[in-house]
Amino acid sequence: MADHGTSAATHGGGGGHTSVKTYINVAIVLAIITAVEVATLYIPGIPNWLLVSSLLIMSAGKFYLVVGFFMHLKYDHQIMRALFVGPLLIAVIIILAVMALFSAFLLLPRPH
Amino acid sequence: MADHAATHAVHDPNIGNTGLDHRKMGMWAFLGSDCMFFGSLIGTYLAYKGKSISGPSPHDVFDIPLTSYSAALLLASSLTMVLALAALQDNRVKVAARWLLATAAMGLHFVLNQVYEFWSFVHHYDLTLSTSLFGSSFFVLTGFHGAHVTGGVLWLLILVGLAWRGQLDRRDYTKVEIAGLYWHFVDIVWIAIFTIIYLIP
């Protein structure tokens, strides 16, 4: 019965590849990045472009760590990866397209 | 390859022709579609940002320390979720149930923080769904995320109940893994919302 579980987990496409130590290390890195993100907000005189781009990069890093290690997508079958990464790219394109349509800007100053 | 898949299909009805668990594939497909759903809501929020003609602006009302605490709660709950999965893989069902309960508790705490935040916006700043473009896009986006978290909490509590009744063991690894995928997804959506909505000025 237990073997059946292991088999299902393996053929289900992942799960048993990451150790508890790795999970804890990833969680520590996530906590540090979050603390740095919030601290960045309070740096006096930081240029807007630098603040926004650094926040987006840190956020993307956290996103990758959770998806790759906690959701095991890094070790999962490529079909699973395609099922998630494909729509994710479409979502990013949707955001950029809607912003472009409405002349909304994240990194650039808004026209007055 | 086809024979290999067929062999598994005979042994386990959850393994499809691809040799992969179709429940897990279904969850990844759902999460992909949910990415586009939240992408649309985030895009709408950004498109309307700074274009409200009435009501308070985002940075008049946001409580960054509270939201940072909520973000930390969800990140910590992702850790407890994978620890539950690791414990279940070792067939330590009671330990797994405790980690699942801790995950649900942190999720519930997150939801209560959000309820307090919404209450505060309505009562202190008169910001409602119909006040302004900011109010509409903010409450719809974060409200849908909160609803996802609430659904996840209920799902986790059902798993805890099954574990306590002895109806969950190592054979149910994939069931818990799928719940975990959903839970981590609400975490990554919050990672995006926290940065794009709350932190970026």
Quick one: pLDDT at residue B142? Answer: 97
Give 10-residue mean pLDDT values along chain A (112 residues).
Answer: 39 59 94 93 89 94 95 90 94 88 66 54
Quick one: pLDDT at residue B52? Answer: 79
User: Which chain B residues contact residue A61 at CB under 8 A?
Assistant: none
Quick one: pLDDT at residue A16? Answer: 52
**B125 contacts B89 by C-beta, under 8 angstroms:** no
Quick one: pLDDT at residue A107? Answer: 56
Distance CA A73, CA A67 (A): 6
pLDDT digits (tens, 9 = 90+) for B140-171: 999 999 999 999 999 999 999 999 999 998 99
Out of B25, B170, B171, the one facing A83 most closely (by C-beta) is: B25
CA distance A88 to chain B (A): 6
Out of B31, B46, B86, the one facing A20 most closely (by C-beta) is: B86
Quick one: pLDDT at residue A9? Answer: 43
CA distance A19 to chain B (A): 8
The mean-pLDDT minimum among A50-54, B55-59, B136-140 falls in: B55-59
Quick one: pLDDT at residue B14? Answer: 80
Name the residue with higher pLDDT: B51 or B43: B43
Quick one: pLDDT at residue B105? Answer: 98
Find the residue in B nearest to A97 (Cα): B43
CB pair distance less than 8 Å for A90 and B39? yes
**B49 contacts A101 by C-beta, under 8 angstroms:** no
Quick one: pLDDT at residue B184? Answer: 97
Return the residue in B12, B36, B186 with the most chain A beta carbons within 10 A, the one to mutate for interface testing.
Answer: B36
Q: Read off the pLDDT of each residue in B71-97 and give the average, rounded to a whole number.
A: 95
Return the residue in B1, B82, B133 with the most chain A beta carbons within 10 A, the one to mutate for interface testing.
Answer: B82
Please, which residues 109-148 of chain B have a Cβ atom closer than 8 Å to chain A?
none
Quick one: pLDDT at residue A103? Answer: 73
User: Which chain A residues contact residue B14 at CB under 8 A?
Assistant: 8, 12
ipTM of the assembly? 0.87
Smallest Cα–Cα separation from B14: which of A16, A42, A31, A7?
A7
pLDDT digits (tens, 9 = 90+) for B89-118: 999 999 999 999 999 999 999 999 999 999
Tell me the percentage of chain B whose pLDDT exceeds 90.
Answer: 79
Please, which residues 55-74 of chain B have a Cβ atom closer than 8 Å to chain A?
64, 68, 71-72
